[in-house]
Amino acid sequence: FTIEERLNANAWDVDIHRPHIKIKDPDMCRKCEKKPCTYMCPAKCYVQQGDIIVLSTEACVECGTCRVVCPHGNIEWNYPRSGMGIWYRFT
Ligand code: SF4
């Protein structure tokens, strides 16, 4: 199975009113040279558009990678509220 096939087997209960991850300071992303979130996130939640980073948490697999790889500590990361977020289904 590819990563995409495995991710497609999961289900999400998205907490649309309270994203569990936030970019603390969007201006910091503009200055960030390598922008590792855009290529390290397995769910491709971070997309560069021009000089800004757009974060969409709907497909987040709650791995915590973005929090670790951000060289500026610019990610506010919490688990989703109880019962929300990813529901893992193993294939
Ligand atoms: Fe992507 Fe993992 Fe961060 Fe979720 S926790 S946004 S899947 S890197």
Which residues make beta-bridge pairs with 47? 54
Q: How far is the CA of 40 from the centre of ligand 1 (A)?
A: 8
Say what the alpha-carbon torsion angle 68, 73, 74, 80 is, to the nearest 10 degrees.
Answer: 50
Within 6 A (CB) of ligand 1 lie 21, 41-43, 45, 60-66
Q: Which atom of ligand 1 is nearest to the CA of 75?
A: 3
Choice between 6 and 15, residue whose per-residue pLDDT is larger: 15
Would you say residue 2 has pLDDT above 90?
Answer: no
Instruction: Please tell me the total count of domains within the chain.
Output: 1
For residue 67, give both structure tokens.
């929090």
Residue 73 has pLDDT above 90, yes or no: yes
pLDDT digits (tens, 9 = 90+) for 50-65: 989 999 999 999 999 9
Per-residue pLDDT tens digits for 22-50: 999 999 999 999 999 999 999 999 999 99
Single-letter amino acid code for the residue at 91: T
Residue 31's contacts (CB-CB under 8 Å, 6 or more residues apart) are none
Q: Which domain holds residue 22?
A: 3-87
Assign residue 50 the CATH number of its domain: 3.30.70.20
